Amino acid sequence: MIEATDFRNGMSLLATAVNVVTTEGAAGRYGFTASAVCSVTDTPPTLLVCMNQATRSHANFVENKTLSVNVLGAHQEHISNAFASPLDSEQRFEHGSWTKLETGSPILEEALVSFDCEIESTQTVGTHSVFMCRVVAIKQENAPSTPKPKPLESLQPSNVDIQSLIYFNRAYHHVG
Amino acid sequence: MIEATDFRNGMSLLATAVNVVTTEGAAGRYGFTASAVCSVTDTPPTLLVCMNQATRSHANFVENKTLSVNVLGAHQEHISNAFASPLDSEQRFEHGSWTKLETGSPILEEALVSFDCEIESTQTVGTHSVFMCRVVAIKQENAPSTPKPKPLESLQPSNVDIQSLIYFNRAYHHVG
- CB-nearest to B36 from A39, A43, A143 is A39
Would the pLDDT of A142 be above 70? Answer: no
Question: In one letter, which amino acid is B141?
Answer: E
Q: What is the pTM of this model?
A: 0.91
* pLDDT recorded at residue B160: 52
Chain A residues within an 8 Å CB radius of B135: 2, 7, 10
Q: Give residue A161's pLDDT band: very low, low, confident or very high (50, 70, 90).
A: confident
Mean pLDDT, residues A24-39: 98
Do B159 and A136 lie within an 8 Å CB cutoff? no
Number of CB atoms found within 10 A of residue A66's CB: 20
Residue A153 has pLDDT above 90, yes or no: no
Under DSSP, the state recorded for B148 is -
Task: Determine the Cα–Cα distance for residues A5 and B148; give it in Å rounded to an integer.
Answer: 11
Q: What span, in angstroms and rounded, lies between the C-alpha atoms of B4 and B1?
A: 10
Q: Given B38, B126, B169, which is nearest A38 (Cβ)? A: B38
pLDDT along chain B (176 residues), means of 10: 95 98 98 98 98 97 98 97 97 98 97 98 97 98 51 46 95 97
Q: What CA–CA distances, in Å, run from B85 to A41, B32, B81, B93, B133?
A: 20, 9, 6, 12, 25
In single-letter form, the type of residue at position A27 comes to: A
Residue of B nearest to A50 (CA): B40
* Complete DSSP assignment for B19-35: EEEEEEETTEEEEEEES
Residue B73 carries which DSSP code? B
Query: For residue A42, is pLDDT > 60?
Result: yes
Cα dihedral A171, B136, B112, B53, rounded to 10, equals -100
pLDDT of residue A155: 46
The C-alpha of B54 sits at a distance from chain A's nearest C-alpha, in angstroms, of: 12
Please work out, in degrees rounded to the nearest 5, the angle formed at the alpha carbon of residue A13 by the alpha carbons of A160 and B42.
125
Residue B70: Cβ within 10 Å count: 29
- Predicted local confidence at residue B141, as pLDDT: 75
Residue B28, number of CB atoms within 10 A of its CB: 13
Instruction: State how far residue A132 is from chain B, nearest Cα, in angstroms.
Output: 9
Q: What is the CA radius of gyration of chain B?
A: 17
- C-beta atoms surrounding B130 within 10 Å: 24
Question: Is residue B125 within a helix (H) or strand (E), and if so which, with residue range?
Answer: strand B113-125
Query: How far is CA B70 from its chain centroid?
Result: 5
Structural domains in chain B, CATH included, are: 10-168 (2.30.110.10)
Q: Of the candidates B46, B50, B169, which has its C-beta nearest A40's C-beta?
A: B50
Closest CA to B123 of A41, A45, A118: A41
By C-alpha distance, the chain B residue nearest A135 is: B2
pLDDT band per the 50, 70, 90 thresholds, residue A1: confident
- Give pLDDT, residue A148: 44
Cα of B155 to nearest chain A Cα, Å: 5
